[in-house]
Amino acid sequence: MLKIENLTHIYPNGTRALDSVSLEVPPGMFGLLGPNGAGKSTLMRTIATLQVPTSGVIRFDEIDVLATPDALRRTLGYLPQDFGVYPRVSAFDMLDHLAVLKGYANRGERRDVVGALLNQVNLWTVRNKAVAGFSGGMRQRFGIAQALIGQPRLIIVDEPTAGLDPEESNRFLNLLSEVAENIVVIFSTHIVQDIADLCQNAAIIAGGRIISRGSPQKLVEQVRGRVWKKIIAKDELDAHRERYDVIATRLTGGRTVIHALADANPGDGFEAIEGDLEDVYFATLLSLRRAA
């Protein structure tokens, strides 16, 4: 179990990237959802011991993360948003080097570990190819392989599917789901559907604060019976935004489809629909904008 209490981080320029964040993250896939600039990457880097917060507490099982960061690093796997590699080093040699850094001193044991990981992420056949020449999806699968070195109990992945085509994204997410069966995996993204499909628990972060948390199903309960849909002309959008709490707009087949939030049927051609996690997300952001 990962426990975060009152975590705050203020950058030297005064930006409050994290504002008293408190979370409990059990084993399994945990989704962290939020817009760009919400504080997701700052939170991920802080948990991964890459930066020291202004204040707060992070504990992972028996480890006091801020007091003994090396203890966490021994059981941590981390795939950052931008994963750099040496340009001419093969996948096998790169993973072998990283295994040395993780404490695998015996060459034979290291060879077995590296081979098993490359097979697990379906990269064995390209083990002698430079990682810099991999496709985006292959690089992300290699990123998971390096994160799995040493059988970590906590894995952090930050925006892992950005830039991947749908096939590579599905392959990567399926692999991540398999990995998360018995350990804590924190999956940070702004792609709502990935959270809905994969995560047993999730939190929405915005403005450095945790706004909502719970299972995707529990989060959706917040908007059940309160989401209404209407198809309008594009030039009617501004008027509808002034009159209704429009939380989402989408252009479909040349028509503008809007979702509005209301406790009762607004009339005016709106029809009831089942809200989903995306509606929760957009409703949360609308509420924050109005409170600002």
For residues 57 and 196, state if they share a domain: yes
Instruction: Find out whether 230 and 258 touch, Cβ atoms under 8 Å.
Output: yes
Asked if 65 and 205 sit in the same domain, the reply is: yes
Question: Residue 229 is which amino acid?
Answer: K
CATH of the domain at 139: 3.40.50.300
Q: 123 and 34: one domain?
A: yes
Can you give the pLDDT at residue 89?
92
Q: What angle do CA 74, 49, 97 make, to 5 degrees?
A: 45
* Domain shared by 210 and 226, yes or no: no
Q: Which helix (H) or strand (E) holds 98?
A: helix 91-101
Domain stop point among 165, 185, 215:
215
**58 lies in the same domain as 107:** yes
CA 136 vs CA 107, 111, 131, 190: distances in Å: 30, 25, 10, 18
Q: What's the pTM value of the predicted model, to 2 decimals?
A: 0.85
What is the Cα–Cα distance from 74 to 64, expressed in whole angstroms? 13
Q: Which of 162, 181, 215 is the last residue of a domain?
A: 215
Do 158 and 90 share a structural domain? yes
**Rounded CA gap, 208 and 10, in Å?**
10
Residues comprising the chain, all counted: 292
C-alpha distances out from residue 135 to 74, 164, 168, 169, 171, Å: 29, 9, 9, 12, 13
Shared domain check, 114 and 28? yes
Do 276 and 152 fall into the same domain? no
- Sign of CA pseudo-dihedral 268, 240, 190, 8: negative
Domain that holds residue 118: 2-215
Claim to verify: residue 172 and residue 99 sit in the same structural domain: yes
Question: Each residue's pLDDT tens digit in the chain (292 positions)?
Answer: 999 999 999 999 999 999 999 999 999 999 999 888 889 989 999 999 999 999 999 999 999 999 999 999 999 999 887 766 677 899 999 999 999 988 899 999 999 999 999 998 889 999 999 998 988 888 888 988 999 998 899 999 988 777 778 888 888 888 888 888 889 999 988 888 889 888 999 999 988 999 999 999 999 998 999 999 999 988 899 999 999 999 999 888 778 999 999 999 999 999 999 999 999 999 988 887 777 6
Instruction: Give yes or no: residues 131 and 168 share one domain.
Output: yes
Total of domains in the chain: 2
Contact present, 181 and 155 (Cβ < 8 Å): no
As a 3-state breakdown, the chain gives helix, strand, coil percent values, each rounded to 5, of 40, 30, 35
Domain boundary among 215, 242, 270: 215
Helix, strand, or coil (residue 250): strand
Helix (H) or strand (E) holding 286, with range, is helix 277-291
Same domain, 131 and 54: yes
The number of helices, as runs of H, and strands, as runs of E, in the chain is 10, 14
